[in-house]
Structure 1
Amino acid sequence: MAEAIIPLDSNWLRAHPLPVPAHNTDKNARGRVCVVGGSRMVPGGVALTAEAALRAGAGKVRVATIASCAIGLGIALPEVGILALDETSDGHVDISRVAPEHLPDHCDALVLGPAMWSKDAAADLIAALIVSHNDDANSPVYILDAAALGALPAFAETTGGRRHPLVLTPHAGELADLTGYSAEEIDADPCGVLREAVETFDAVVMLKGATSYVSAPGEGIYGFAGGGAGLATGGSGDVLAGIVAGLAARGAPPFEALLWAIWLHGEAGRRCAEQIGSIGYLSRELLVRIPGLMHAI
């Protein structure tokens, strides 16, 4: 018998409110996010992730990206700290040339992989920023996106039993990379493959699509069919990853942060569809709608 799908709706949201900062809190206490990624091919993708984290309520955001993009990114996002890193010949972060003391640290949530396409470069980042770091009380919540998802299977034996489970945000093609199943097999049994990914990586995992599914160790499978076709556009996933990071940095448990992010992302898409058009709106137009939606429940 197929597993029953739990609806992600306003009833769930009201039962799981987001953490609210005290009136006298500072930006560090609001939550610190670091975004590591970007490439010469997609230099602005990390900007979407960084701004989404701020829009979701994080108090402080830093972006670690290739040096050739750092100045432009810093000008575009004056609210964000920029860490300029060496780059490979194909335009990705070359972590092998970065001294340990220059790696991003002191954050509550770390997004790894947005706007990257090189699995090799992403694998080096996973090894340096996740595998080699102590999993202790100061460890951030790790959100993996884009190329980092394709690189993760090589590290499957290191992902279990963490203080915070990894948060994985694949679409069907990326879930195929994670699990080895074909797109056809995933389409035939999306929830079964999702459940297997949760168990393999001991992680919080979503499957992005017209209906998105999400689960975590010891949890049921939740489904959300909101948003519409307009969200199937470049940069949409970068925005979603940033929302998850911002909410997790504020103190939401990883599973709840992902569920809230899915709803906020989908509802922002629905509002863009109503106000702009069902398709043709831009991923960056989702961003300004996020703060108001957090207070709509």
Structure 2
Amino acid sequence: MSNVSDRAVTVTSAVLREWPLPPPGTGKESRGRTVVVGGSTRTPGAVLLAAESALRCGAGKLQVATTTTTAAPMGIALPEALVLPLPETAEGGIDPACGAEGGELSELVEGAHAALLGVGAIGEEDVRSLLSQLVPRLRTVVVLDALGLAPVTADVTFLHHLEGGAVLTPNLSELAIVLDAEPEEVERDVAGATVELARRSRCAVAAGGGESWIAAPDGRCWRDASGGAGLGVSGSGDVLSGIVTGLCARGADPVQAAVWAAHLHGRAGDRLASSVGRLGFLARELPAQVPPVLAEIEV
């Protein structure tokens, strides 16, 4: 990995105004169909955070697929969404058999404009099996988060068939795991590691630590310094992945969605830092800050 930070574009509102999102249209169908697949009996909240974040950035139609045990509470907590209950493992994760061709989950995801896979999921082998059945048939935009990255860790060509139509949203620990690198090496050169994963996977990559780095498969790189230490909190990454997916559903190019999402996420954190405190705000408070940040940028 080489240090590419010197040639990275610093993301600002002015930069994004020169790279506007697709027009939103007038109805929910015009802003795309977002599907979020994940969760477990142990981590149901991750799906809720990601799904709400997709709506908060302007996605139009929301569908969620999660474990049977958590589906009904999810539907109550998120009345805007269609919720598909899925059979679960003894450990409380999604049964990997749900990835079979022709099943309800397959039909749901294949009909989406953008699908977030793996958020809040548990059981690495089960998640890898589920996605290894489901993803090769897809032609929609795919966003992989958390354990959803497991198939890419096993085979970095896993998403090559999508020809750039995918985004990976690892935290720094996950970035090191996917690259089979030492965490210290990645932390010394997050920009280089992000660009390297984008090159190998042929996906857009948004990786976050104290600052965010976003890379395109062709080597382009962006740095976003917004947000600060307060974003280093449980659930923050789920919010980011949801924003990425919602923007993709709206029609944004995956690279554009990753760059915009990193800035919206960071600026939402900045707003909470000023009103709540630099530390101590919660991930659940971030989604509601996204619409005003969008409005400020798009003025």
TM over 0.5: yes
Q: Please name the residue that 2:116 is paired with.
A: 111
**Any gaps of 5 or more consecutive residues in structure 2?**
none
How far apart are residue 45 of structure 1 and its match? Answer: 1.2
Partner of 1:140: 140
Say which SS state the counterpart of residue 59 (structure 2) adopts. Answer: coil
Q: Is the 8 A contact 1:36 1:111 kept in 2?
A: yes
253-262 or 2-11, which deviates more: 2-11
- CA-CA distance at 1:257 after TM superposition: 0.5
TM-score of the pair, normalised by structure 1: 0.93
Q: How does 1:168-247 map to 2 (within 5 A)?
A: 168-247=168-247
Q: Counterpart amino acid of 2:45?
A: G
CA contact (8 A) 1:117 1:146 kept: no
Count of residues in Structure 1 that have an aligned counterpart in Structure 2: 290
Is 2:20 the partner of 1:14? no
Partner of 1:101: 103
Structure-1 separation of matches of 2:67 and 2:172: 28
How many percent of aligned residue pairs carry the same amino acid?
Answer: 40
Given that 2:199 and 2:219 are in contact with CA atoms closer than 8 Å, whether structure 1 keeps it comes out as no
CA distance in 2, matches of 1:193, 1:169: 13
- Indicate the residue corresponding to 1:126 in structure 2: 131
Q: Look up the match of 1:60.
A: 61
**Residue 268 (1) aligns with residue 268 (2):** yes
C-alpha displacement at 1:199, in angstroms? 1.5
Q: Quick check: 1:71 aligned with 2:76?
A: no
The offset of 1:191, in angstroms, is 2.1
State the AA in 1 paired with 2:104: H
TM-score (norm 2): 0.92
C-alpha separation between the residues in 2 aligned to 1:77 and 1:101? 24
Check if 1:5 corresponds to 2:8.
yes
> Alignment partner of 2:286: what SS?
helix
AA at the equivalent of 2:103: E
Superposition deviation, residue 167 in structure 1: 0.4
Q: Does the CA contact (< 8 Å) of 2:142 and 2:167 recur in 1?
A: yes
Q: Distance in 2 between matches of 1:173 and 1:257?
A: 22
SS of the residue 1:289 aligns to: helix
Moved over 4 A (4+): none
Letter in 1 for 2:214: V
Alpha carbons of structure 1 residues 256 and 68: separation in structure 2 relative to 1, 3 Å: same
Report which stretch shifted further, 153-162 or 35-44: 153-162
Amino acid across the alignment from 1:9 = T
Q: Cα distance, 1:292 vs. partner? A: 1.5
Q: Look up the match of 2:288.
A: 288
8 A contact 1:38–1:115 mirrored in 2: yes
Per the TM alignment, residue 155 of structure 1 is displaced from its structure 2 partner at its CA by 3.2
Distance 1:191 1:220, change over 3 A: same
Identify, as 1 or 2, the structure richer in helix.
2
- Determine if the alignment matches structure 1 residue 86 to structure 2 residue 91: no
In structure 1, what is the Cα distance between the partners aligned to 2:31 and 2:9? 31
